[in-house]
């Protein structure tokens, strides 16, 4: 899985796509970005929320619903911890559909996963500045160039930590309380 953040919405001149796109930037490699098409109305709202000096409140027409949702979670000690983006098969199992789920946590950890549509997920991620976890399956589908796929896979393999052959012995020492060797 890979962490992305909502960067901004851009026009066709900036993205090379005919229309508006929301840009998701990879947290570990900001040069790696994903583009998803959005309509003009939603692009304006997302960019408004992402502006540093924007002050949205309960009276803001469209954002009021989202702000109320966030406030109700917070009042019951629940928080939007992140968003998971994956693909799921449709009812017939013939096509794969984009799936976003809100990760809601409470004091004890994970409270629930709430399925939402794409725009709701992106807007909430923008408002709460949370990461979007994009599945490897989506990345493989979106990156069509085999050379780019190979580079991504090499980067992923190189970010794994080295395996410690003595990890069980170290864990047993920690659990027994005997941290120092005599």
What pLDDT, on the 0 to 100 scale, is given for residue 60?
Answer: 64
Residue 71 in this model has a pLDDT that exceeds 70: yes
Q: In the chain, where are the structural domains located?
A: 2-176
According to DSSP, residue 73 is labeled H
Residue 133's pLDDT is: 94
Mean confidence (pLDDT) of the chain: 80
- Residue 23 bridge partners (DSSP): 8, 35
pLDDT above 80 for 151 = no
| pTM score | 0.72
Does the pLDDT at position 140 exceed 80? yes
| Residue 126 pLDDT greater than 90, yes or no | yes
Domain 2-176 of CATH type 1.10.940.10 = no
The per-residue pLDDT for 11 is 84
With cut-offs at 50, 70 and 90, classify the pLDDT of residue 88. Answer: confident
Residue 6 has what DSSP assignment?
E
Rounded Cα distance between 126 and 120, Å, is: 10
Q: Which residue has the higher pLDDT, 141 or 71?
A: 71
Which whole-number Å values give the CA distances from 177 to 88, 166, 170, 172, 173, in the listed order? 46, 17, 11, 9, 6
User: What is the DSSP code string of 107-166?
Assistant: TTEEEEEEEE-HHHHHHHHHHHT--EEE-HHHHHHH---HHHHHHHHHHHHHTSPPPPTT
Q: Say whether pLDDT at 168 is over 80.
A: no
pLDDT level of residue 121 (50, 70, 90 thresholds): very high
- pLDDT the model gives residue 173: 67
Tens digit of each residue's pLDDT (9 = 90 or more) over 38-51: 998 899 889 988 88
């Amino acid at each position: 899985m890979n962490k992305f953040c909502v960067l901004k919405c851009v026009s066709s001149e900036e993205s090379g796509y005919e229309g508006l796109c929301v840009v998701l930037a990879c947290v570990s490699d900001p040069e790696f970005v994903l583009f998803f098409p959005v309509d003009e109305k939603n692009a304006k709202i997302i960019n408004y929320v992402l502006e540093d000096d924007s002050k949205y409140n309960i009276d803001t027409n469209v954002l009021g619903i989202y702000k109320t949702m966030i406030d109700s979670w917070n009042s019951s000690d629940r928080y939007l911890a992140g968003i998971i983006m994956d693909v799921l098969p449709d009812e017939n199992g013939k096509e794969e559909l984009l799936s976003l789920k809100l990760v809601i946590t409470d004091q004890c950890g994970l409270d629930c996963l709430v399925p939402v549509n794409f725009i709701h997920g992106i807007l909430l991620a923008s408002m709460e500045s949370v990461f979007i976890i994009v599945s490897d399956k989506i990345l493989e589908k979106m990156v069509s160039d085999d050379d780019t796929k190979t580079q991504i896979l090499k980067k992923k393999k190189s970010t794994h930590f080295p395996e410690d052959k003595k990890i069980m012995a170290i864990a047993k020492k920690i659990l027994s309380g005997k941290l120092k060797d005599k």
